[in-house]
A and B are shown apart, each in its own frame.
Chain A
Amino acid sequence: MIANLRHGAPLGLAVLLFAACAPATRGGSGTGQAPAPAVRTVNDADVEFMSGMIPHHAQAVLIAGWAESHGARRDVLVFCQRIVVGQRDEIGLMQRWLAERGLDVPAADATTHKMKMGDMIHEMIMPGMLNAEQLAELDKSRGSDFDRLLLKAMIGHHLGAIEMVNKLQASAGSGNDDIVYRFSSDVYADQSTEVERMTKILATIPEK
């Protein structure tokens, strides 16, 4: 099981209520004495992760979606179909999380991450994402050329996601929100498993 999404109870509301609390270090007794509600503060690193991962996932959905039209081999095609379903669902999860907290929600097909720096908005791509030139090269390829380029690109793309998780989990005060913690752990577990799988498929694709 992973993300502690919304239940019957208003978890989102609880987050807003306690967002203002300093992360209290009250000593729980572990014996069930009426505790204060859990602190599930959200910090900038959490928000950065949940909004930055949307364009990251969006690009994975985009390029994996090319598998059928670009003549991918059957195992690559099935793998890509699963990425499309999986990451599209996760985009929904991130969008809901952001919306419930009244934060800016990137579009499901966002191509860049918009970072505010003072009054400026910088559009950037996240770790492992393909630039426009690389995207065009992949889009032009067909058959085993596509398989090879796609797998290499997607391995790098996944490693970028793992880098984002590591950055998040190394940030002070992040991961107190159960959804962010569980979702980021899932991205780590799923995508490292998929890197391994892709590496093995790649080894069976003929070199150019």
Chain B
Amino acid sequence: MELSTIKDAFDRVTKKQKLSCSKTQEAIDQIRQEIESVLDTLQSANNTDHELDYKTVLNELKASFLLIAPLSQMEGTQKELNVALTKYGKLLEKHFNPDISKAYRNIDIDRHTLNQIIANHFYHQGLFEIGDHFMSVVGEPESAAIMKFPFVEMYQILEAMQNQNLEPALNWASTNGDKLAQSGSDIVLKLHSMQFVKVLQNGSREEALHYARMHLSPFATSHMTDIQKLMGCLLWTGKLDRSPYHALLSPSNWDKLAEELKRQFCNLLGQSYNSPLSVTVAAGVQVLPPLLKFMNVMAGKKNEWQSMNQLPVPVELDREFQFHSIFVCPVSKEQATEDNPPMLMSCGHVLCKQSILKMSKNSTKVFKCPYCPFDIDAAQCKQLYF
């Protein structure tokens, strides 16, 4: 394993460094002792009015320094440390090629779009000052306000939630209730549930019951089980932490709720939960190693790489980086479903699973792709994820 080799090399460096350090310390201590001894001698001579030959004393000190030989003491260990460091550096260069330029193309990127992506990332993370500063540096301060505005509201809500104040979140949820319901989100109920528990925690059963009647009962048709559990909490007012519902008081519930709110907020904005920049970087990190490896092998063919229409090597990305729109099978003319998902054939064309099974006589025969002359083996088809 590559990393274990690197770790061993790093351990060697630290070992040599510790040895060098202790040797140096040893030499310094010896020198200090000699100097202190001479100082004592001089001090006692002063006190007793005893005549002392300073030259002799200093010559003796010089002689003892030559005897200690601090430089030669330190030189050996220092040399060993330098050798280990050099080896470590070379090993790092070998395994972690810092020059990634070999694996990307020189594409003209629209500066404005790039600036927007970077600023969006800052605002997405709630780094508003940095985002504003960046936009003013690149000379686009006017678009900053438009980009920033929705995220400011989101982070105000999240900040309030950190202080266990759900009012802003509940206001946002009631304003966007219809849209949230359309997207199949139950965040509104989750917020009301959390508020209900909070009211109950403050010790008012009557107030909590009133809150349940006002805000929880409308969810009865779809979330009755959740409501039943919350209503059960009423019987442990004041001792919820010692009840079957103590899990509702876990601080992690606030974190989960905040994360869910951020997800739904971004969804309503038409944005992804993670900023496009962070998704791109994360996906790039996965793709880079095989591409760098390929480019090292194909060292002399840089120009070919620049003109290729598709990636020269198969690249496996995790599911979270696989984005596909709604798919209609060109053979069956049916929209793909969970039971009948789109499948990528070895030639790069896509059909739905049922069509592939039909054409391959239940994966028993090789069949021809309806779009190209390729022979397709059903077993080698890969599922695409939405």
Do these two chains interact?
no
Interface residues of A (CB under 8 A from B): none
